[in-house]
Structure 1
Amino acid sequence: MISPELPPFYYLHNFHQVLQWVQQVSADLLEPEHVQCDHAFAQASQSAQALLVRLLMRKGPVFRIDKLRYAEIEDLEAAVQELAACKLIEIDPALDLDTLFAVHTMPELRRMFHDLPAAGRKSDYQQWIARAQGEQERPFLQWCARPELQAPLLRLSAAVVHWAQRLQLLFFGNHYQDWSEFVLSDLGLYRYEAVALDQGSRAFRHQEDVRLYETLSELRDAPDEADLEHWTERFAAVQRIQTDSDWLRRRKAKTVFQLGQQAERQHWWSLAEQAYAQTRWPGARYRQLRVLERQEKQEDAWPLFCQAWEQPESEGEAQKLRRMLPRLRRKLALEAPPTAPSGKPASRTQRSDLVLPDDGSRVEVQVLSHWNSPLAPVFYVENTLFPALLGLLGWDAIYAPLPGAFFHPYQACPADWGSPDFVSRRQNLFDQSLSVLNGTDYKTVIWQRWQEKRGIQCPLLIWPALDESLIEQALHCIPAQHLQLVFTRILQDWRDNRAGLPDLVRFMPAQQSYELIEVKGPGDRLQDNQRRWLSYFEQHAIPARVCYVTRPEAS
């Protein structure tokens, strides 16, 4: 596919699109300094606007003017002076040592600092200068008293940087999407599902929501600290956050869980225990039990264990509880609970053994080549086939415009995609989608969606791994009942059950049958989620086997 040629000011057009969106939908969430930047930007010429947006799209905030080259901006110097007059940038800013080294090359640094060794790494030079002159911010001529070596520099104002960040946050509803989304879409590399958006389709309802999101992001993204007091302050700050937004409540619950993981990595057991106890994020209860074990608090762990044993939150938790039970029984000298949690993995899955020489390729590819034939084609699908078929069949449920799900036209998935209640919020819609499997129209529905949605961004569909032959064989050979069973299990635990599916699928078109194959190379073993899937296949008579590959013995 030949990418379209973008017009010269495509990026400025995209920026104006974001500005217009925010002004129409979320103007009340801009702070006074943002409004001032809005006004200053609106009064600037096209060249000055274009230069500012170009800079915002690059890593900054300090830039060398002599390195800026944009063909569409004819008078760069005039644009720089205009932005400076509007106080959107600062010319000849004070520099700290990190920035000084970032914007100059090694030869330039050697000319600026005569005492530097002729050879060495940039980091070594920086440490040397730091010891000699310090690292505090200062104008260039206080670093180097040679005006002829001074490169023209500009810095984006702090207000402009914060304004651009706020625009991105209000438009995208997150910090990880940026202006590249527009470029990828303009080039035709990314396509997104069109979801109906209205005045209520915004991520934040009021200023407090924005502040809470930014606080949670800062606390979540801060690096692990070896300072227990600092961690405690971070945790307390999260706990003080109160909101009536379901979306932000979910984000808070996940942040508390992540802080618990950070504390656990530092072996701050009591704080990790506290964090896990105060969030209902999936996995927190089992992590709390593990932390209690690490503290030798088996008596405190037992009541929580019994609660989980009677009502496990998932098959994965039940599997882990069965492993924990013998340890707790030994420590407490207790009898086992009367009934075991459901979903115990079976061990009756059919097994095959192959001896194949190591040809440098992956064992899955070797097994595929070994068994593949015109009458029984084999495909490497792993976690792509069944989720893709579910995504096509349940497309309308996934992209339903529920409150708090879609904020802008560049979303590959709903905002609550990874949340525990993603499916429950759409249960009726998924039930309607899966009901098509009770008739004969499901193949037509899936094929039509394949043609209509092909290439549109969706986490369940990895388009390069799918082709028409695979979809055609799957719909011909896999019974609707088996699709229903697999889809139902995925939807039961949306977060975990999209993974762990077998590596290969072998079709027998003449018999209208198929077989799933999990491949294990030398020294490899089944993972927990794979065992759970194999147990489910065994329970429902879905054909599956595990193929163990070994190497020939050396002569």
Structure 2
Amino acid sequence: MIPIEKKELPPKYYLTYFQYLLDFVKQKYTTILNEQENAFIQAFEALDEDEQCLYIRFSNRRGSFFKTDKLKYAEIENIDIILDALIAKNFLSALSHEHIVLAGNVLDILNKSELIQLAKMLNLDVKGKNGLKKEELLDWLLESATFDEMVAWLNPEIAEKPAIIKVNYEEEVQMLKFLFFGSRYGDMTEFVVRDLGFQTYEHYDMDQLVPHFQSRQEAEDKFKVSLAREDFYEMQEQNIAPEEIYHWFMTWTEKHKESLSEIAQPSYARFALKVGSYFEKAKLPDLALPVFRLTHEPPSRERQVRILHKIKNNEEAQALCEQILSEPQNADEQFFALDFFNKLEAQNAKKKVKKAVTDKLHKADVLALDKSWQRQVEFGVIDHYEKLNKKAAFTENHLWRSLFGLLFWDIIFDTESMAIHHPLQRSPSDLFKPTFFEKRQQKMEERLEILDDPDAWNIFMNQTFFEKYGITNPLVDWYGGLFPLIITLLERLSSEQVKAVMLEMARNLRENVRGFPDLFIWDDGDYQFIEVKSPTDSLSNQQLYWLRFFESINLRAKVLRIEWKKPDTELITA
């Protein structure tokens, strides 16, 4: 990697970032901002610089409530005066009885010693309470005293300044950040990571960027799915009974699912899979099955078949397997369905049957290695082939992914795809969606023609690699030895073979960027890809998928099963 130059950010860097975000949202989303968000922007821009800075400091931190006794920011002078100004302008609120519904959040900002001290001031008997965990102590306090009593001690009216304050406009700020990043996972620290040189992004003019959401409903739909998912995780942490979680989730689904915008549907599908998996792991198939039925997103159908088989409903399980086989969405579904039918037939015939991956593994060549390679078996195989005067590299997924990312770089990040929404995007928003290939197919097929001319692809790949080196692309793993490996690959395979692999990846990029063989072995006249399996390792469905695909295009690849050498044991077959 390119060495990272040490950089320093200006004292009020976070204000610059927030102002950029506001300007961006105002420009791209002016038609969908609501009255409250516009009012916040107008009020925020009316603050003086230090007031803006202190408010951003609070809004960028986790939580709604903060203690004021140790506030100190070198770039902000007269913090107490600014604190009073923000309270007067309703950007902050002093703790009061109005915050009773958030009582738990208020107490959570206190450490265990402070909770004990509060209990003493409230004249509660704290004997034996030191042994409680903080969560238990917090629950006891909430049960033992009224919130008004706590507020009287935590924020006494006679104090010069409030000891605890709450940040206001939280919903508005959350939505503005959500509109900018397009998800709840976006964070203002991404600006910092960029400007410190830890990430380098593809450059775009602001005019080239398109809104992630085309309507207010699209934004609100995806936002509420994100909030519901966070509620689900919180319920798990609070050990809410699974039956209550199920009732909550199904009620939420009944109310919202059918009206969700298309852009929010994938988020909902992933949410449903998380909930279904939670019930399945809790050994509650009667709750897991109806949740999995809410989506066809993999691995939903596989999980349904497994549950149906477990509860002895084989007729429905077989019918669903037939659906999977008629139109599998990935290799895991395809081979699971095949193995399931083979298993049922074997049971009826009272025979044993092997899974497709197991059968492939058992038929593989075997190599005996010294047990000293036990924790780095792939490198043991590399050592074996290097002793045979061959060159070898551990390439696994990154070689094919990186070739794809470099060959189609400008097509992937083409702003005409309408999938680039903000300047900190690591990839287009449709990278792992079915529409990715649909929108770019013609350009990608035209680009592949360059592979028929060795001089042309050599110049193109060289130029792309060194111009883009270090820029973030989730498909490209940057390191110095990557380029010669790509050239070696392109020199040894036919253009038709490379084209076939690239197009197969593009058709389902979400699934087909994984499962490639571990090693690339070559010499002057030959090459081979090898999937290495230690004695305790198994072959995955996706690995079998690529091995079969490679075989269909006459691309040399195989599985090599490892056994540990016994005294005087040599190569069995390889």
TM-score (norm 2): 0.82
Q: How does 1:480-519 map to 2 (within 5 A)?
A: 480-508=495-523, 510-511=524-525, 513-519=526-532
Displacement of 1:537 in angstroms is 2.6
| Equivalent residue, structure 1, for 2:410 | 396
Do the aligned partners of 1:281 and 1:420 also contact (CA within 8 Å) in 2? Answer: no
Counterpart code for 1:455? G
2:461 is matched with which residue: 435, 446, 451? 446
* Counterpart selection for 2:304 from 269, 288, 293: 288
What is the alpha-carbon distance in structure 2 between the residues aligned to residue 296 and residue 150 of structure 1? Answer: 70
Which letter does structure 1 place at the counterpart of 2:486? I
Q: Give ranges in structure 1 of 5+ residues lacking alignment.
A: 334-341
Whether 1:540 and 2:556 are equivalent positions in the alignment is no
Aligned-partner Cα distance in 1 for 2:381–2:224? 50
Task: Kindly provide the amino acid, as one letter, of the partner of residue 541 in structure 2.
Answer: D
Report whether the alignment pairs 1:11 with 2:14: yes
Amino acid at match of 2:528: E
Q: 1:181 aligns with which of 187, 190, 197?
A: 190
Instruction: Note if contact 2:366-2:563 (Cα within 8 Å) is conserved in structure 1.
Output: no
* CA displacement, residues 135-183 of structure 1 (integer Å, 9 cap, x when unaligned): 764465645799999995343434x211211111111111001101111
**Is the Cα–Cα contact under 8 Å of residues 264 and 272 in structure 1 kept in the other structure?**
yes
The correspondence of residues 146-295 of structure 1 with structure 2, limited to 5 A, is 153-158=163-168, 160-195=169-204, 198=207, 201-221=210-230, 222-223=232-233, 226-228=241-243, 230-239=245-254, 240-242=256-258, 245-267=261-283, 269=285, 272-295=288-311
Instruction: Read off the aligned partner of 2:65 and give its amino acid letter.
Output: V
Structural mapping, 1:333-412, within 5 Å: 351-358=365-372, 361-372=375-386, 376-402=390-416, 405-412=419-426
CA deviation string 1:47-92 (max 9, x = no partner): 1111111122222322222322221112212221111111101234
Structure 2: gaps spanning 5 or more residues: 350-355, 569-574
Residue identity over aligned pairs, in percent, reads: 25
Stretch deviating more after TM superposition (386-395 or 205-214): 205-214
Amino acid in the other structure paired with 1:544: A
The amino acid that maps onto 2:12 is F
In the TM superposition, residue 431 of structure 1 has moved relative to its aligned partner by: 1.8
Distance 1:399 1:366 in 2: 39
Contact 2:357 / 2:544 at 8 angstroms: preserved in 1?
A: no
- Quick one: which amino acid aligns to residue 178 of structure 1? D
Residue type at the aligned position of 1:417: L
Give the aligned partner of residue 90 of structure 2: 87
Q: Distance in 1 between matches of 2:155 and 2:497?
A: 77
The answer on whether the counterparts of 1:349 and 1:534 sit within 8 Å (CA) in structure 2 is no
Of the three residues 413, 436, 442, the one matched with 2:450 is: 436
Match of 2:30 in 1: 27
The one-letter code of the counterpart of 1:368 is I
CA RMSD of aligned residues (A): 3.7
Q: Deviations over 1:424-463 (max 9, x none)?
A: 3322232223232233322322222111221121111122
The separation in 1 between residues aligned to 2:128 and 2:284, in whole angstroms, is: 47
Contact 2:366 / 2:561 at 8 angstroms: preserved in 1?
Answer: yes
Task: Note closer, same or farther for the CA distance 1:238–1:426 as it changes in structure 2 (3 Å cut).
Answer: farther
- Deviations along 1:95-140, whole A, 9 cap, x unmatched? 866556544445555555556579956x535534643662764465
- After superposition, the C-alpha distances for 1:359-409 in whole angstroms (9 at most, x for unaligned) are 674222333344447963322222111011011111233223356522211
- Aligned to 2:93, what secondary structure does the other structure show? strand
1:317 aligns with 2:340: no
Contact 1:97/1:130 (CA < 8 Å) preserved in 2? Answer: no
1:86-165 correspondence to structure 2 within 5 Å:
86-93=89-96, 98-99=104-105, 102-109=108-115, 111-113=117-119, 116=126, 120=130, 124=133, 127-128=136-137, 130-131=139-140, 134=143, 137-138=147-148, 140=150, 142=152, 153-158=163-168, 160-165=169-174
Judged with a 3 Å threshold, the aligned counterparts in structure 2 of structure 1 residues 548 and 36 are, in CA distance, closer, same or farther, namely same
- Against the structure 1 CA distance between its residues 318 and 467, is the aligned structure 2 distance closer, same or farther, given a 3 Å change threshold? closer
Q: What residue identity is the alignment partner of 1:358? A: S
**Structure 1, 147-156 or 525-534: larger mean CA deviation:** 147-156
After superposition, the C-alpha distances for 1:345-367 in whole angstroms (9 at most, x for unaligned) are: 86697624132233674222333
Distance 1:536 1:349 in 2: 18
In 2, distance between residues paired with 1:379 and 1:206? 49
Seen in structure 2, the aligned counterparts of structure 1 residues 504 and 247 have a Cα distance that, compared at 3 Å, is same
Structure 1 stretch displaced more, 172-181 or 61-70: 61-70
Higher helix share: 2
Q: Is the 8 A contact 1:346 1:534 kept in 2?
A: no
Counterparts of 1:272 and 1:429, CA distance in 2: 43
Show CA shifts across 1:225-245 (max 9, x none): 644364245235335434585
Quick one: which amino acid aligns to residue 410 of structure 1?
L
Other-structure match for 1:45: 48
**1:411 CA displacement:** 1.0
User: Structure 1: how far apart are the matches of 2:43 and 2:84?
Assistant: 14
**1:434·1:484 contact (CA, 8 Å) conserved in 2?**
yes
Q: Is the 8 A contact 1:93 1:155 kept in 2?
A: no
Count of aligned pairs: 544
CA shift in 2, pair 1:422/1:256, >3 Å:
farther
Q: Which amino acid aligns with 2:402?
A: A
